[in-house]
Every structure is written in structure tokens, then in C-alpha cells.
Amino acid sequence: MKSIQSALISVFNKKGLEPIVKFLYKEGVKIYSTGGTQSFIEKLDIPVTPVESLTQYPSIFGGRVKTLHPVIFGGILYRRDNNSDLSEAQEYKIPAIDLIIVDLYPFEETVASGKSEEDIIEKIDIGGVSLIRAAAKNFKDTLIVSNRNQYADVLEVLQKNGCASDLNIRKQYAAEAFEVTRHYDTAIHHWFLDEKDSDFKNFEVLPKKELRYGENPHQKATFYGDFDAMFEQLHGKQISYNNLVDIDACVNLIDEFDKKQATYAIIKHTNACGLATGENAKEAYLRALAGDPVSAFGGVIITNSNVDLAVAEELNKLFMEILIAPSYDINALELLSSKKNRILLVRKETRQPKETFKTILNGVLMQDKDLSIESKANMKSVTKRVPNVEEYVALEFALKVCKHTKSNTIVLAKGNQLIASGVGQTSRVDALRQAIEKAKNFGFDLKGAVMASDAFFPFPDCVEISHQEGIDTVVQPGGSIKDQLSIDYCDANNMSMVFTGVRHFLH
């Protein structure tokens, strides 16, 4: 155990600091401080010794140099069990400093606020980082509090131990201190390189949240990211690993659709089991639900429109895990909150990463996110019959769903409504048969529907099967050495088919 007899406090954010300062004063701890922190302590009528009285130097260069001095760093770093260090400390009149409390300049917040380069540079903390590293290095003798989130915790530790700390606690705080400086320096490094998406490449610099468990209860899991920056949770239970995965799929899918037209998507295990647009929110939801009302049970729902009471009354009839929307009317929110565990989220406008990552073998795969989506302008008609205006609209819709569905996939759509999809099949023919069967089970007439495929048809079997079911309009990437066989069949049967030249595998 090491008792604390002196402390150096230099923090940017003073929130939560008062209780620990009062405790240290009550325990007779000598407090050193600087600038704004010194003023804060003095206003509490607590004696504080300015750092300048130790260094015999004022704060200089506009506050850039305050604590960077051998007396300060000597008091932190000298080893209390080393005779040579003890002798030098006595010779140079260097007092021991047992506790360091630091909260760094808000560099990342300053960058995010859009401030000027000059303002950002001035928020690169030098002295604070140096104090943190010095105290963490000498954890055998000093206790380092490296950010404001530790104030309450360290106060509890000191109260429990009579203003003292044990070696294990000091080592734990030292480890956290080096994590703080690593995160801080990484953020600065990426700003200098102008890497706007760098935080996603270095996920450990992101906020960390332990989850109840992973994909299954026997697996541990952690989320790295600022969920609260992207969503406000209005109601419901703690969000799980699988919830996060489905929420991600929801966001990626709904962002393909124009916010001017009400759209609802129902997701189950990251795949859309229902999706539609409508003249209003209620119509969009009911059309989406009709796509697969069985799979919708226990699903995650997202919309790009406000949730009013009319649609809330319909939504409330379904058992769903999560509802995500940009806003809710008060009466709609009251109704939907009647289910204790139902998670209700408001989505905020935030930047999304432009890369995806996956751990594989003994490494990590990184790729550009699939941000390509093909409209009529990108579709090349390869058959004698060309799709009409309504068919092109349906093809664009189906392709958006197809892009966000596990491969191999076939998507069937009609009038901006998903009527069925074949998901994650080892054969494209199986995916088509699965989609056809589901559409029929839920009472859809396939005549006039369109078909989208995430990859090319190696044989004409898929266009043959679709034609037999009344589906005569098709979109696919093309690129098979046997494309002509599918084209010939379409021409012989008055079908229209367009190629996009872009594959959308999703594994």
C-alpha cells in the first residue's frame, strides 16, 4: 500500500472533480495545480500550491509550457526504493508527487466541431500526456488518474483504503493511462494524415462497451463504437450483439431509398423479409409486412419516415425486437412503449464508414464498402423486348434489396414491394425456387413481377423457371460465358433482361 501525501491536479474538464478534491484536502494531502484547475480549487476554499512555486517558472508561451520541468517530472518519476534516486531528490529539492489527476485537452471534440487548424493544434495536449506517461511508468510509487471517467472510481478506492492505493490498483490505472494516450495520439496522427475514416481502421480507439454475450450465450463480446452518437434509445432492454448486427443491416438497406417516400424494411438475421414503399407510413409498413408476415415475428424494423399513431397501431400488433425511426409522435411513442422490452430507437445523422472488416484465418480482411447501386441509366438492355417505365422502377427496387441479401440470392419484386427472396442458397436455382414458393405461400400473383440476381446466370435455367411462373423481366450483372443462352431464351419467350455489369455478392 502507498499512502497519498501529495497530488498534482491538472484537468480540462472539472465536472465531477470537486468531491475528490475535498476528500484529498480532508485527508491532509498537499495539492499542486495549474491555471484553470488551480482557480477551480481555490474557489472551493481549499489550499492549493501553484506549480510555478515548485518550478520557479511562470506558465509561458500562452500556456503551452506549465508542468514540463525536472522538478515536476522528477517528483513523479523518482523511485522511492532506490537510494540513488532518493539522494538526488534530496539534493535538488524535488518533492514526491504520489497522485496525478489529468484530463486531456479535447482534441477529437475540437476536430469534430469544425474549428480552425490553429484551434485544433492548440488542443494537442503535451504536458498532460507527458504527466500521464510519467506517472504510469512509475506505477510502483504513483497513482495516475488519466481521464474524468475515473474520478468517481478513484474516490471510492481512496475512501476504502484510507487515502492509499495498492500495487494492483496502480498497475490497473497505469494500463488504462497508456490506453488513453494511445487513443489520443492515434487520433492526432490520423488528423495530420487527413484520414477522415481512420477511426474505423483502428477500432480500438473507439469507445468500448461490453455486451451481455456474443452471437450465442457462451461467447463473450465487445462493441467498439459510439452507439449513442448514432441512436437515441427511447425505450426497451439492453441492446445485444445480434441486435447490433441486425441494426447495421437495417441502416445499410434503408439508406438506399429516397427519404421523400415512406419506406419500411423488416429484417431477420440481416436479410430483408419485408420491404416496401407507400403513399404514407401505414401503407408502406403494411405492404412490407405482407411480404413475409411469418418471418417478421421477432424482427427488426426500420423506417425513413416519422412514426405516427396510425402506423404505430399496426406496428403494435406485431412482436418485434426493435423499431428504428427518425422521429415518433408522442402518442405513437406512448403506445409502442407499452411492451416493456421493445427497443425503440431514434436514428441520428452520422457519418458511416466506407470500409468493411472481417477477421479471417490469422489476419483481417478490409475492403471498400459496396456503395454501388445501379439505376436505369446503368442498365443495358440485352433483349429484343425492353422493360417499360414501371418495370424499370421495379428492377431498381429489387436490385437494392438484392444487394443487401446474403448470396446466392434471387429477389422478386412488384410495384416497389418485396414479394419474396431466396436467401443464402448454394445454388441460384434453389434461391429462385425458394423465392417462388414463399411468394405463392403468401398469396402473391407472380405475373408481372420482376426478378433480380446478385450474380450472373451460368445457365438459362433461372430465366426458364421464372418465365414459367409469369416473371418476364430480369436484371442481373451478366458476364457468364453462356450469357447468350439466357438472352436467346428471353428473346424466344418475349422476356426482357438487362445487364448491370456489377456483381453484388454478400457473404
Name every residue whose Cβ is closer than 8 Å to that of residue 138 and which is 6 or more positions away in sequence: 76, 77, 78, 79
Query: What phi and psi values does residue 427 have, to the nearest 5 degrees?
Result: -125, 135
Pull the grid cell for residue 378: 446503368
CB atoms within 10 A of CB 278: 20
Q: What's the rounded Cα separation, in Å, for the pair 262 and 390? A: 18
Query: Do the Cβ atoms of 37 and 59 come closer than 8 Å?
Result: no
Helices (H), 255-388: 281-290, 309-315, 330-336
**Catalytically active residues, by annotation:** 137, 269
b (16+ CB within 10 A) / e for 303-317: bbbebbbebbeebbe
Q: What's the rounded Cα separation, in Å, for the pair 92 and 73? A: 12
Pull the grid cell for residue 230: 448514432
Would the CA dihedral through 43, 47, 48, 54 be positive or negative? positive
Q: What's the rounded Cα separation, in Å, for the pair 275 and 370? A: 20
CA angle, 307 as apex, 306 and 311 as ends, to 5°? 135
Q: What's the rounded Cα separation, in Å, for the pair 477 and 322? A: 34
**DSSP conformational letter for 349:** P
Q: What's the rounded Cα separation, in Å, for the pair 441 and 234? A: 36
Pull the grid cell for residue 426: 448454394
| Residue corresponding to grid cell 424494423 | 301
CB atoms within 10 A of CB 56: 8
Q: What residue ranges in 142-186 does DSSP mark as E strands? A: 143-145, 164-165
CA angle, 36 as apex, 33 and 42 as ends, to 5°? 65
CA distances to 65, 84, 453, 487, 504 from 402, rounded to whole Å, are 58, 72, 7, 21, 8
| Residue corresponding to grid cell 423486348 | 385
Pull the grid cell for residue 43: 474557489
Which of 429, 410, 437 lies closest to 421 in space, CA to CA? 410
Query: Do the Cβ atoms of 293 and 442 come closer than 8 Å?
Result: yes
Cis peptide before 13 (omega within 30 of 0): no
